[in-house]
Amino acid sequence: MASMKDETEKVVAENLHSFMGFVEKNTLRFITHLVQKSSSVNSLKNEVRKSCGGIGDVDSFCDSLWNSLKLSKRRLRTQYEEDDEDNEYYAAIASTSKKTKVEKKEKNDTSESEDDERTKDLKERDEFAARLREKDKQKTRNIVENSDKKSFEEAAKRLKLQDEDRKKILPQLRIESRRKYLEKRKDDQLALLEGDILDEENLFNDTPLSKAEQAELEYKKTVLKYAKDHDKARDLEKIQRYHIPKEDGKPFEEYVEVDDTEKAPNAEQRKWEEGRVELAKLSVGSKDKHEKMGKNYDLVLEAEVEFVQALSLEGQNYKKEKEIDPFAAKKLSIEETRKSLPIYPFKQQLIDAVHDYQVLIIEGETGSGKTTQIPQYLHDAGFTKGGKKVGCTQPRRVAAMSVAARVATEMSVKLGNEVGYSIRFEDCTSERTIIKYMTDGMLLREFLSEPDLDSYSVLIIDEAHERTLHTDILFGLVKDIARFRPDLKLLISSATLDAEKFSTFFDDAPVFRIPGRRFPVDIYYTAAPEADYISACVVTILQIHVTQPLGDILVFLPGQEEIEQCVEILQERQRKLVSKMRELVIRPIYANLPTDMQAQVFEPTPPGARKVVIATNIAETSLTIDGIIYVIDPGYCKQNSFNPRTGMESLVVVPISKASANQRSGRAGRVAAGKCFRLFTAWAYQHELDDATIPEIQRVHMGNAVLMLKSLGINDILHFDFLDPPPHDTLVLALEQLYALGALNHLGELTRLGRRMAEFPVDPMMSKMLIASEQYGCSEEVLTISAMLSVNASVFYRPKDKAIHADTARRNFFTPGGDHLMLLKVYNQWAECGFSRQWCIENFIQYRSMCRARDVRDQLQGLMDRVEIELKSDPTEIVGIRKAITSGYFYHVARLSKTGGQHKTIKSQQTVLIHPNSSLFEEKPRWLLYHELVLTTKEYMRQIIEIDPSWLIEVAPHYYKDKEIEDTSSKKMPKQVGKASGELTRTYPKL
DNA sequence: GAGCACTGC
């Protein structure tokens, strides 16, 4: 058996020969010496260049030499391991770390050295973890030192100011909004008039008009003429009259260049969130919404949906609530408000129950006050003595912030001192904090630095019924630590449906019921199924509008496209019927809508009019719109699901669950008794809808979650105590990927690389790419690319009416190499323009997304420093950047098939298409790497770069056999090495 | 030649 040294010399000789055409003995020795001295391909290049500069293409020589060495090293190793390789492979996947490695028949230096390396790697991993802990301690100290001085004071001041301001702005806000509304209405009416005239002239010019009709037409023309003259006069004479901004004059005029405060980190996001919080607090509604309709309209609806009332959702506690008027509620003192909450009478009972039981399930409707009150009760009962904290998790950032602010006010302390919150990009707590609100993902991250959560005496997992990925993982972890920390109390708070399930999971924990506060909602079903839910929605809206008393309508549609369509139809119908019915204010809302248009949803409805809000699921939980009396629910939503076999995500329209349908109808009963119109039959509700939505954990890729669990020391992932276990295939795929990326070794143990990867809150492939970027000297660039990829394809804004402009603007960013480099270019240009908002608008780029990308980038940059990766930048290194990407995403490669001009993935041979938005759509490169695979109308690859197949062998020789890339002529791979490595099967990558 | 439902770290 050849020794390592002989083997090395042999490989060097081969490469030298193919490089120079001959082998000189001294050179051979010298290069072999350099190889043994070098720790990476880059250092080898440096050495070679230093010693024998000018001998030709040093880079490609070294690259190919290094590859051959890696391959031959592996070949040596596999010779001993082939027998039990498969067993080991699966052992690693199942991560039964107890299983001992099968004894080698022949113990020898290579396998021993591998064992040594493993021990060394594990040792280094643990040392690394220790260093991280030390850093964390240091960080806490720093926070403690700086905390009081700056941010908390400011935050508290800010909130106090807002509180005072709110009282002042309210009347102004109303006037302002009324004024805006009138301005817009004038424009609308004019357009309408113009349209009418045109219609009548063009459409009916062959039918003679009656006298009355002719007179009306003439009248309309006169009115229009006056209106136009008026505008013209104002323009000409420059008389400052009532000014109305023009629709198509200077569209960008109103946008202002960012000032310095805006450039500060988080500014845009913070403002947006503050806006949301503010809106959530304000309860502005139309005062006279209960006014009955004065007259009967002689409108005959073209079509009608027939509804039958089936049941009504009972209201709770609503009779004794007199303060329907939100302004009356404001007058109550904080103390009175607290006492009026449904939870108040149960205070003592609850405290007793927490004393008696370790785990308690709280079942309570929204509006019972559980989120704000329970932590305070526990504080009163002494659970925060001895510096211990009460922690409360929320699924959403805005909720964590606003609830913390509310509780701070109730306890009259500064936000960030005794009461604080912690969310990504923002930690508003101090060493004094005893009640801490946080997002569930944040608590999960805390597990990494404090696995026993020793600083908490009580943990409340709120909104558990929402079953987010993070809460589901928390359940298992929290159940686990509760076993060896009997002093830790757990409260799981959930809506009615799931309480029993949680109770069973937590070893039959008692359920504590708290009544909510809600108005009754009548529920109507259609008599027969509706074929086209969009037109059924439109008809129902109009039906409600003409037959029902005033009150706003909320419509749930699955996505942006449906919403736009519905709005369009509705506007058209309204135009036709405008003289025959009351005014209808149409307001769409979905997450990708620009912020200012989102805010319009919250504007109070003008007196006598009716607002109809057409929303996605965003209105189901994330935001609450006041004044909604009617809900229209077609019963569909878009849902993401991940197929582990194909690695493909799909976003498809599916029927909602019963739980979700009830949640939606509940939206009608928040301010007064309401009605919910379901556009499906009662039978369908009973028999066709699932009880609950499939929890997220069973629908998503688990890569990051598994890595996190691994780094918490949970080795047996497949048997982890999940409330609902994710599909077996999903877990196996995640483990397989982590193994291939080098985050786990062949025994399923976390490696040093894996420990580093776990620090990043991104997909493992991306964290690998980030870490690998160091050796290609382009970590700055890869950092930017990662951040841009994280903002979820919402960078480019493409309004329907300016689609062509938007496309041209996008085309300007096209870069050779592919989409990742295009994203880099976008970010860099934006940064060069001083992160300007104006620049974004001109280039049809979403400012909000870019700001998010900047925040993500800052965070990742901090983490790079934390895991001891040097930041280097080389913008010219286009190949290096793509190689770095490849070393993370070598799983995601497709190549053009020989027949038919379509791409197929390398491993599973699926046909996949380049997304038409890609910059490489027309080029169709032979080899390409994709960021993600999504099934929409077809199987598309999104975010693509072109790669050279030889890179695959370079970055992932353990994963790719040479056979798989053989049909391309690879310049960099000498043939003999190719043959040798063709024998390779999977082995553990050395990193 | 298509279309990103919503969160979160």
Q: What would the pLDDT profile of A756-765 be if each residue is shown by its tens digit?
A: 898 898 989 9
Residue A984 lies inside a defined structural domain of this protein:
no
Instruction: Name the nucleotide nearest A623; use CA and C1'.
Output: B6
Residues A886 and A959 in one domain: yes
Q: Is pLDDT above 80 for A831?
A: yes
**Mean pLDDT of all residues belonging to chain A:** 76
Q: What is the pLDDT of residue A974?
A: 39
| pLDDT band at residue A352 using 50, 70 and 90 as cut-offs | very high
> Residue at minimal CA–C1' distance from B7?
A396
State residue A87's pLDDT score.
41
Determine the average pLDDT of the residues in A652-660. 87
Residue A147, pLDDT above cutoff 70? no
Let me know if residue A277 belongs to a domain.
no
Q: Which is more confidently placed, A505 or A187?
A: A505
| DSSP E strands, A882-977 | 893-896, 903-905, 911-914, 927-935, 939-946
* A632: β partners: A555, A677
Residue that terminates a domain, selected from A874, A908, A928: A874
In a domain? residue A985: no
Closest CA to A961 of A864, A890, A896, A910: A890
Q: Bridge partners of A651?
A: A640
Give residue A312's pLDDT: 63
Give the residue with greater pLDDT, A990 vs A12.
A12
Instruction: Output the pLDDT for position A1.
Output: 44
A701 compared with A283, residue with greater pLDDT: A701
Q: Which of A107-116, A748-757, A971-980 has the highest mean pLDDT?
A: A748-757
What's the confidence (pLDDT) of residue A274? 64
pLDDT of residue A459: 92
- Region A396-404: what's the mean pLDDT? 86
- Residues A434 and A576 both lie in one domain: no
- Binned at pLDDT 50, 70 and 90, residue A311 comes out as low
Q: What is the pLDDT of residue A556?
A: 92
pLDDT for the residue numbered A426 = 85
Same domain, A613 and A681: yes
Asked which of A14-28, A91-105, A596-610 is least confident by mean pLDDT, the reply is: A91-105
pLDDT score of A54: 55
Q: How far is CA A435 from CA A281, A339, A426, A427, in A?
A: 21, 20, 16, 14
Most confident of the ranges A149-163, A238-252, A970-984: A149-163
**Chain B nucleotides reached by a protein CB under 7 Å:** 1-9
Nucleotide closest to A470 measured between CA and C1': B8
pLDDT band at A316 (very low <50, low <70, confident <90, very high): low
CB A769 within 8 A of CB A703: no
Tell me the two tokens of residue A674. 């309401």
Tell whether A410 and A437 lie within a shared domain. Answer: yes
Locate all alpha helices (DSSP H) within A548-653, ordered by sequence.
Answer: 560-577, 595-599
Whole-number Å distance between alpha carbons of A188 and A550: 22
Do the domain assignments include residue A323? no
Q: Which residue is nearest to nucleotide B8 (CA to C1')?
A: A441
| Helix and strand element counts for chain A (H, E) | 35, 22
Is A712 in the same domain as A564?
Answer: no
CA of A538 to C1' of B2 (A): 26
- Whether A679 contacts A634, CB under 8 Å: yes
- Phi, psi for residue A611 in degrees, rounded to 5: -100, 135
pLDDT value, residue A207: 60
CA atom of A424 to C1′ atom of B8, Å? 9
- The CA–C1' separation of A919 and B1, in angstroms, is 13
pLDDT band, residue A376 (cuts 50/70/90): very high
Asked whether residue A674 falls in the same domain as residue A765, the answer is: no
Q: What is the mean pLDDT of residues A522-544?
A: 86
Which of A911, A932, A513 lies closest to A701, judged by CA?
A: A932
Burial class, A7, CB count within 10 angstroms (exposed 0-12 / middle 13-18 / buried 19+): middle
Task: Report the DSSP pairing between strands A419-423 and A426-428.
Answer: antiparallel
Residue scoring higher pLDDT (A262 or A837): A837
Nucleotide nearest to A557 (CA to C1'): B5
Q: What is the DSSP letter of A717?
A: G
Please check whether residue A610 is in contact with residue A584, taking contact to mean a CB–CB distance below 8 angstroms. yes
Q: How confident is the model at residue A435 (pLDDT cuts 50, 70, 90)?
A: very high
Q: What is the mean pLDDT of residues A476-503?
A: 85
> Would you state the pLDDT for residue A299?
41
**Pair (A777, A742) in one structural domain:** yes
Q: Is the dihedral of CA A826, A829, A833, A838 positive or negative?
A: negative
The residue lying closest to nucleotide B2, measuring its CA against C1', is A916
Distance of A699 CA from B7 C1′ (whole Å): 14
Tell whether A803 and A950 lie within a shared domain.
Answer: no
Distance CA A115, CA A111 (A): 6
Please report the pLDDT score of residue A787 as a whole number. 92
- At residue A573, the pLDDT reads 85
In a shared domain, residues A778 and A813: yes
The pLDDT confidence band at residue A399, using thresholds 50, 70 and 90, is: confident
pLDDT band, very low/low/confident/very high, at A436 (cuts 50, 70, 90): very high
State the total domains in chain A.
Answer: 5
Measure, in angstroms, how far nucleotide B9 C1' is from residue A848 CA.
19
What are the CA-CA distances from residue A274 to residues A169, A369, A500, A791, A832 (Å)? 15, 22, 36, 20, 28
Range A946-959 average pLDDT? 85
Judged by C1' against the alpha carbon of A705, the nearest nucleotide is B9
- My answer on whether A529 and A637 are in the same domain is yes
Place of tokens 């790497």: A929
* CB atoms near residue A157 (< 10 Å): 12
For residue A462, which of A595, A364, A579, A337 has the smallest C-alpha distance? Answer: A364
Nucleotide nearest to A615 (CA to C1'): B5
- A831 and A775 share a domain? yes
**Residue with smallest Cα–C1' gap to B9:** A761
- Which CATH number do you get for residue A845? 1.20.120.1080
CA of A639 to C1' of B8 (A): 17
SS3 A656: coil
**Gap from A470 CA to B8 C1', in Å?**
8
Distance A821 CA to B9 C1' (A): 25
Q: Integer distance in angstroms from CA A561 to C1' B3?
A: 8
Rounded to two decimals, what is the model's pTM?
A: 0.69
Please say if the pLDDT value at position A875 is more than 80: no
Give the nearest nucleotide to A619, CA to C1': B6
Domain boundary at A839, A874, A909, which?
Answer: A874
Range with the poorest average pLDDT among A222-236, A240-254, A274-288: A240-254
pLDDT of residue A233 exceeding 70, the answer is: no
How many Å apart are CA A4 and CA A294, to the nearest integer?
A: 95
User: Can you tell me which residue has its alpha carbon closest to the C1' of nucleotide B1?
Assistant: A916
Q: Which domain holds residue A559?
A: 521-688
Residue A384 lies in a domain: yes
With respect to residue A407, please indicate whether it lies within any of the assigned structural domains. Answer: yes
Instruction: Tell me what pLDDT residue A379 has.
Output: 92
- Rounded distance in angstroms from the CA atom of residue A470 to the C1' atom of nucleotide B9: 9
Flag whether pLDDT at A156 surpasses 90.
no
Whether A723 shows a pLDDT value over 50: the answer reads: yes
- Nearest one of A519, A168, A171 to A324, comparing CA atoms: A519
Q: Which nucleotide is nearest to A443 (CA to C1')?
A: B9
Mean pLDDT of all residues in A885-906: 84
Of chain A, the percentage scoring pLDDT greater than 90 comes to 7
In a domain, A987, yes or no: no
Is a pLDDT exceeding 90 seen at residue A319? Answer: no
Q: Do the beta carbons of residue A418 and residue A384 sit within 8 Å?
A: no
The DSSP symbol for A657 reads: P
- pLDDT tier at A189, thresholds 50, 70, 90: confident
Mean pLDDT in residue range A636-659: 85
For A290-333, the DSSP string reads: TPPP-S------SS---EEEEEEEPPBS-SS--TTSHHHHHHS-
When pLDDT is cut at 50, 70 and 90, the band that residue A203 belongs to is low
Of A804, A839, A874, the position where a domain reaches its end is A874
Res A968: pLDDT: 47
Report in angstroms the alpha-carbon separations of A724 from A467, A502, A571, A734, A764. Answer: 10, 11, 45, 17, 23
**A399: which nucleotide lies closest, measuring CA to C1'?**
B7
H helices of A878-931, in order, are 878-889
Asked if residues A552 and A625 have their Cβ atoms less than 8 Å apart, the reply is yes
Query: Smallest Cα–Cα separation from A586: which of A561, A609, A618?
Result: A609
Instruction: Assign residue A624 the CATH number of its domain.
Output: 3.40.50.300
Q: Is the pLDDT reported for residue A437 higher than 90?
A: yes
In whole angstroms, B1 C1' to A914 CA is: 11
**A853 neighbors A790 (Cβ within 8 angstroms):** yes
Q: What is the pLDDT of residue A85?
A: 42
**Could you tell me the strand order of the sheet in which A674-678 lies?**
A307-313, A521-526, A674-678, A628-633, A552-556, A610-615, A584-589
Residues A614 and A530 grouped into a single domain: yes
What share of chain A has pLDDT > 70, as a percent? 73
